[in-house]
Structure 1
Amino acid sequence: MFAAERRNVILEILKDKKRITVKELSQMLNVSEATLRSDLSQMEKKGLLTRTHGGAVLDSPIKAENTFSAREKKNKESKIAIAKKAMSLIHDKNCIFLDASTTALEIARLLKEENIRLTVLTNGISTAIELRDNPAITVILLGGMLRNGSMALEGPFGTSILNQIHVDILFTSARGFTVEEGLTDFSVYEVELKKVIVNKVEKVVAIVDHTKIGDNSIASFASVEDIDLFISDEDINQDLKKVFEKNHVQFMKS
């Protein structure tokens, strides 16, 4: 089991039990206590749980800085620049998927002013609301579970519609991106939804600002090989450029 998968399982266990000891986790997962202590430390740094003596408890309240409204204000200029670059990929009669990220919301804000015929699928409540008044755009909001502090509908409940509609482009952000883990997010429910979408769409476009490159979160939903185009607000280093070239990932700087 990879580290990201293991931490995903730990989070699921905590959601069920609310608290767990390292010894219990070791017995359940057949993993050394030293490895699990390292996992819990990394998860605590990401605000997913709180370490206790000998174990961990789940953080039930969403921290203020992690709410959608707080995240929307972070690096706003970078997100707008990325959104403007992404607009060059969208053409009349396309069917696109916008995830529930604050960067995708900036794309929606640009699209609502455009006279362009589109079908837009999204699991983002704010994104759907933003586009509702443009008569040329058909908006399909996927159903799902609404998590505290979030504006995303999560889970596999609405994925059946993806079997009926051909989606040209997925525009997706992430909580982090590394070469090893690819695009990662902290919500296991949103990760499961995004995995399905990545496998259904024609093209996957990552819309990721520079602060997230080199960081990762709890679980991966798209590997480097899954990404067709990567848009960021700053240039990337030569090592990452070589990885992208090797995996046929086009890079665009906003």
Structure 2
Amino acid sequence: MFATERRNAILEILQDKKRVTVKDLSKILNVSEATLRSDLSNMEKKGLLTRTHGGAVLDSPINAENTFSAREKKNKESKIAIAKTAMTFINDKDCILLDASTTALEIARLLKDQNIRLTVLTNGISAAIEMRDNPAITVILLGGMLRNGSMALEGPFGTSILNQIHVDTMFTSARGFTIEEGLTDFSVYEVELKKALISKVEKVVAIIDHSKIGDNSIASFANIQDIDVFISDQDIDDTLKETFHNNGIDFIA
């Protein structure tokens, strides 16, 4: 079991039990206690859980740094710049999909004042509210589970509508991006939803600010071959540019 898969499994167990010991995890996952202690330390640094004597608990309420309102304020200027670039990939009469990220929210804020006919699917409650008063935009809110500290509806419940609607472009952010893992996030429910969405759309546009490049989270929802366009707020090194070019990815900063 790879580290990412193992940590994903730990998070799933915690979301079910809320509290777990290293000894129990070792039995369930058939992994050494030393490896699991390292995993738990790594996950605590990412704000996913809290270490306890001999184990870990799922943070409740969610760490204030991970709430939607806190993330919305982080690197805001970068997100606005990325959103303005993303707007160039949206055309009249398109059907697009916005994830529930704070960067996608900035796209929604730009769209609310545009005289453009669109159908927008989103699992982001805040994004849907931003666009609701634009009569030219049809907003479809994907159903799902509302997680504590989040403004996202998560899980596979809303994916059935994608069998009835053709989506031109999906705009998605992530908690991290690496060449090896692709786009990663920490919520297993959001990862599950994003995987389903990506499999149904024509084009995937990654909207990732510079702070997330080179970092990764618990689970991958898109590998590098799934991405068509990568928009960021800063330039990247030549090695990553070459990798993008070799995989047919358009990079824009």
TM-score between both structures, scaled by the size of structure 2: 0.98
Deviates more, 1:169-178 or 1:237-246: 237-246
The residue number in structure 1 matching 2:194 is 194
SS of match in other structure, 2:199: helix
- What is the CA deviation profile of residues 66-120 of structure 1, one whole-angstrom value per residue up to 9, with x for unaligned ones? 1111111111111110000000000011000000011101111111111111000
- Structure-1 separation of matches of 2:131 and 2:57: 39
Structure 1 residue 145: Cα displacement = 0.6
SS of match in other structure, 2:14: helix
SS of match in other structure, 2:151: coil
The residue number in structure 1 matching 2:103 is 103
- Structure-1 separation of matches of 2:107 and 2:58: 34
- Structure-2 separation of matches of 1:134 and 1:4: 41
Structure 1 residue 224: Cα displacement = 0.7
Aligned length: 253
Report the AA paired with residue 202 of structure 2. E
SS of match in other structure, 1:60: coil
The residue number in structure 2 matching 1:82 is 82
Structure 1 residue 238: Cα displacement = 1.1
The residue number in structure 2 matching 1:66 is 66
Q: State the percentage of identical aligned residues.
A: 82
TM-score between both structures, scaled by the size of structure 1: 0.97
Unmatched tracts of structure 1, length 5 or more: none
- Structure-2 separation of matches of 1:19 and 1:64: 20
SS of match in other structure, 1:221: strand
Structure 1 residue 246: Cα displacement = 1.6
The residue number in structure 2 matching 1:157 is 157
Report the AA paired with residue 241 of structure 1. K
- Structure-2 separation of matches of 1:110 and 1:16: 38
Q: Does structure 1 residue 242 correspond to structure 2 residue 242? A: yes
- Structure-1 separation of matches of 2:50 and 2:136: 47
Give every structure 1 segment of 4 or more consecutive aligned residues whose post-TM-superposition deviation is greater than 3 Å. none
- Structure-1 separation of matches of 2:20 and 2:31: 14
Structure 1 residue 53: Cα displacement = 2.4
- What is the CA deviation profile of residues 131-179 of structure 1, one whole-angstrom value per residue up to 9, with x for unaligned ones? 0111111000001111111110001111100111110000000111111
Unmatched tracts of structure 2, length 5 or more: none
**1:1-254 superposed matches below 5 A:** 1-253=1-253
